[in-house]
């Protein structure tokens, strides 16, 4: 194989596919990138047995062929070369030469036959979503994906496609995040659970693009097709939380709050909280204001900000990080908080519409 390509373009595509490279594997080829060069196109494939990413770019292909090159080594070499054009040349013994300007690297590749076959499911029915909409939905829900393997199915986000549109749901036992978009095309009703790791990478690959992303599923796999990338992922299986049963009906206290003011106030109260000294923040809602109190061995913090409220006064405690995550991922200037007493989960809602709903579980506070 011998190709000549633009260095900046190569750096970009290497960065895109490298997210599916296995960091350490008993199969050395999984730590590499599969190159296939033909007809002035170079296709790159990476696969860690859970997620695979495919992309291609135009190049001057002087000799067709395929090879697996170590991803970390190749990326570091390409980034260090100070030249506009890079040449990658391999021979039948897998000896690989990378040249740019006066710089030249030599190393040994791996045979393409060592690269595990990646499943490409035949997804006949697909759903198209604007890239910016899907990225927003992922941002509003990914923070609530479980980081624990205690219940593996909750390390992913559930996709629900029905007559109401597309809904994404994440839960980790302490908070719940739901986001719905109704302005999408229709196809058959489906439910499936995508690993959080995959959605993080899909969101990064979308970037600022508004191009449509097509999503298709078949059996245990899902395929996300973006403008320049195809992402194949294994789906999670298991009993996902019946989230609708977790949402409290009605409210006893309803509060409209400025997100920026609340975030700043929680940040101030959090100055005396760290990994060693932990404590919930007490929120007391009364008379169109919310007071915040927090005490640890480091000291005591007090703050208050205005709000608009109706219903009962209530004192309730929350983990500072969980509150900040919900507020920062709302994407709103204001949010509505609905509370059913100090022991019930609090709902975080948009001031208008039903695009998202977050639940935050309270922390029991001592008198």
Q: What is the pLDDT of residues 149-174, one digit of tens each?
A: 889 999 999 999 888 789 999 999 89
* Residue 185 confidence (pLDDT): 61
Sign for the pseudo-dihedral over CA of 82, 84, 88, 89: negative
Mean per-residue pLDDT, 10-32: 93
Residue ranges of domains in the chain, CATH in brackets: 2-114 (3.10.150.10), 126-244 (3.10.150.10), 247-360 (3.10.150.10)
Closest to 359 measured CA to CA, from 68, 186, 141:
141
Mean per-residue pLDDT, 108-122: 90
Query: What would the two tokens of residue 67 be?
Result: 């090879």
* Residue 190 confidence (pLDDT): 86
Mean per-residue pLDDT, 60-81: 96
Question: What letter does residue 142 receive in the DSSP assignment?
Answer: G
Mean per-residue pLDDT, 85-114: 95
Average pLDDT of every residue of the chain = 93
Q: What is the pLDDT of residues 199-248, one digit of tens each?
A: 999 999 999 888 999 998 888 999 999 989 999 999 999 999 999 999 99
Residues 6+ apart with CB under 8 A from 157: 138, 141, 142, 145, 168, 169, 170, 193, 194, 196, 199
**Could you tell me the pLDDT band of residue 187, with boundaries at 50, 70 and 90?**
low
Mean per-residue pLDDT, 27-53: 95
Residues 6+ apart with CB under 8 A from 85: 4, 5, 6, 7, 100
The pTM is what? 0.91
* Residue 133 confidence (pLDDT): 92
Q: How far apart are CA 340 and CA 328, in angstroms?
A: 23
CB 113 within 8 A of CB 32: no
């Amino acid at each position: 194989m011998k190709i000549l390509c633009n260095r900046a373009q190569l750096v970009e595509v290497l960065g895109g596919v490298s997210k599916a490279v296995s960091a350490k594997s008993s199969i050395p080829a999984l730590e590499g990138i599969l190159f296939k060069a033909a007809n002035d196109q170079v296709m790159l494939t990476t696969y860690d047995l859970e997620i695979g990413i495919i992309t291609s770019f135009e190049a001057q292909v002087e000799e067709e062929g395929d090879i697996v090159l170590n991803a970390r080594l190749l990326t570091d070499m390409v980034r260090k070369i100070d030249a506009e054009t890079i040449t990658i040349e391999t021979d039948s013994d897998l000896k690989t030469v990378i040249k740019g300007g006066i710089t030249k690297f030599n190393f040994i590749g791996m045979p393409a036959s060592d690269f595990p076959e990646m499943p490409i499911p035949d997804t006949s029915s697909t759903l198209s979503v604007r890239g910016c909409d899907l990225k927003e939905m992922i941002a509003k829900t990914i923070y609530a994906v479980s980081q624990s393997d205690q219940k593996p199915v909750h390390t992913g986000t559930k996709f629900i496609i029905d007559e109401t549109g597309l809904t994404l749901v994440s839960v980790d036992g302490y908070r719940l995040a739901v986001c719905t978009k109704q302005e999408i095309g229709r196809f058959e009703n489906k439910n499936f659970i995508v690993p959080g790791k995959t959605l993080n990478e899909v969101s990064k690959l979308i970037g600022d693009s508004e191009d449509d992303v097509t999503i298709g599923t078949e059996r245990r796999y899902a395929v996300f097709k973006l403008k320049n990338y195809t992402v194949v992922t294994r789906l999670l299986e298991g009993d996902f939380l019946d989230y609708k049963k977790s949402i409290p009906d009605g409210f006893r206290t309803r509060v409209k709050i400025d997100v920026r003011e609340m975030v700043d106030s929680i940040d101030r109260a959090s100055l005396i909280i760290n990994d060693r000294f932990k404590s919930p923040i007490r929120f007391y809602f009364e008379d169109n204001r919310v007071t915040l109190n927090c005490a640890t061995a480091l000291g005591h913090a007090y703050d208050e900000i205005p709000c608009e409220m109706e219903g009962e006064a209530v004192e309730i405690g929350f983990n500072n990080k969980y509150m900040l995550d919900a507020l920062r991922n709302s994407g709103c200037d204001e949010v509505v908080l609905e509370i059913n007493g100090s022991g019930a989960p609090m709902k975080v809602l948009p001031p208008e519409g039903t695009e998202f709903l977050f639940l935050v579980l309270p922390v029991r506070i001592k008198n």
